[in-house]
Amino acid sequence: MSKQVLMCTPDYFDIEYEINVWMHQDDQPADLTAHQQWQKLHDIYVQQLGWEVKQITPVKGLPDMVFATDCCTIIGDKVLLSYFRYPERQPETEQFAKWFRDNGYTKVKRANNFFEGGGDTLVFGDKIIAGHGFRSTPEAHKELEKYFNHEVISLKIIDPHFYHMDTSLAVLDDETVAYYPGAIDEASRKKLKKAVPRLIEASLDEAKGFGLNVVSDGHNVICSDASESLLGKYRDAGFNVIGTPILEFRKSGGGVKCLTLELDL
Ligand code: ARG
């Protein structure tokens, strides 16, 4: 299925502050490698899959703008912009708000509670799987539910390595979700088991390779190639898996999905 996504080049990508356990200012990403990995992902979308990639202009001093998925949750033509937990990221919202305005979106509003868009929300059929605990709040989940009029399956994240829901949980199609159970609490695991017909479990090691941070069109699954065993699980479930090197972005706590805002959900 052809898709349209929004990306932001890593021109100003760096570790300028530390807001998750992966980020260390004395462990900077290599510029060239980051650019090559970003470009390879871009080319998978455009050349291999025939998708359309739109781009937003990167801004100096906003190193995490590269993680475009975090700017909002978007379903159809409705956009709920993020209210970032950390002041360092808050100015990103205005940049993305402008992009949406310039691109003809009219139903755009910012969340009133801390909320980190696609970082913490995954559209699952007519529902939304959403995480809270480190960035987004349960209040934001209520806002989300009201704004989109979709049921929200609200999960509590407990492991700081997986501070955003999309680092430990992947929607592969309308009935399949892959996740690392240790990232969320017991009650959330129960909720998920009830809501999802087909669950694929990943180990801690597999999750740390960022292979749960995926973009999927229901057939093709694009993700980090760091964990061959996890890619094998996706293949066994019937998906066409496209693994790609992306670990330069893990130095900031990000991967394939973080770099990609899907515009056509
Ligand atoms: N350094 C960024 C942060 O901590 C990484 C965001 C990654 N995005 C994601 N969707 N997991 O906010």
Give the nearest ligand 1 atom to 89 CA. Answer: 12
**Which is nearest to 248 in space by CA: 51, 23, 4, 2?**
23
Of all helices (H) and strands (E), which one includes residue 81? strand 78-81
Q: What is the reported pLDDT for 232? A: 98
Token pair of 77, please?
């033509």
- State yes or no: is 24 an active-site residue: no
What CATH number is given for 4-262 in this structure?
3.75.10.10
Give the nearest ligand 1 atom to 252 CA. Answer: 1
Q: What is the reported pLDDT for 2? A: 84
Q: Note the pTM of the prediction, 2 decimals.
A: 0.97
Q: What is the reported pLDDT for 183? A: 98
Ligand 1 binding residues, C-beta < 6 A = 19-20, 23, 64, 67, 69-70, 89, 119, 164, 166-167, 252-254, 258
Helix%, strand%, coil% for the chain, nearest 5 = 35, 25, 40
Of 8, 141, 164, 223, the active-site residue reads 164
Pocket test for ligand 1, best of 67, 157, 250, 256 (most atoms within 8 A of CB): 67
Q: Measured between alpha carbons, how far is 29 from 21 in angstroms, rounded to an integer?
A: 15
- State yes or no: is 141 an active-site residue: no
Q: What is the reported pLDDT for 265? A: 76
Q: What is the reported pLDDT for 85? A: 98
Per-residue confidence in pLDDT tens, the chain, 265 aa: 789 999 999 999 999 999 999 999 999 999 999 999 999 999 999 999 999 999 999 999 999 999 999 999 999 999 999 999 999 999 999 999 999 999 999 999 999 999 999 999 999 999 999 999 999 999 999 999 999 999 999 999 999 999 999 999 999 999 999 999 999 999 999 999 999 999 999 999 999 999 999 999 999 999 999 999 999 999 999 999 999 999 999 999 999 999 999 998 7
Residue 152 carries which side chain, given as an amino acid letter?
V
Pocket test for ligand 1, best of 18, 21, 38, 64 (most atoms within 8 A of CB): 64
Q: Per-domain residue ranges for the chain?
A: 4-262
Token pair of 57, please?
């202009």
Report the phi/psi class of residue 254: left, alpha or beta, with left for phi > 0 and alpha for psi in -120 to 50.
Answer: beta
Residue 126 per-residue DSSP state: T
Q: What is the reported pLDDT for 80? A: 98
CB 100 within 8 A of CB 74: no
Give the nearest ligand 1 atom to 63 CA. Answer: 1
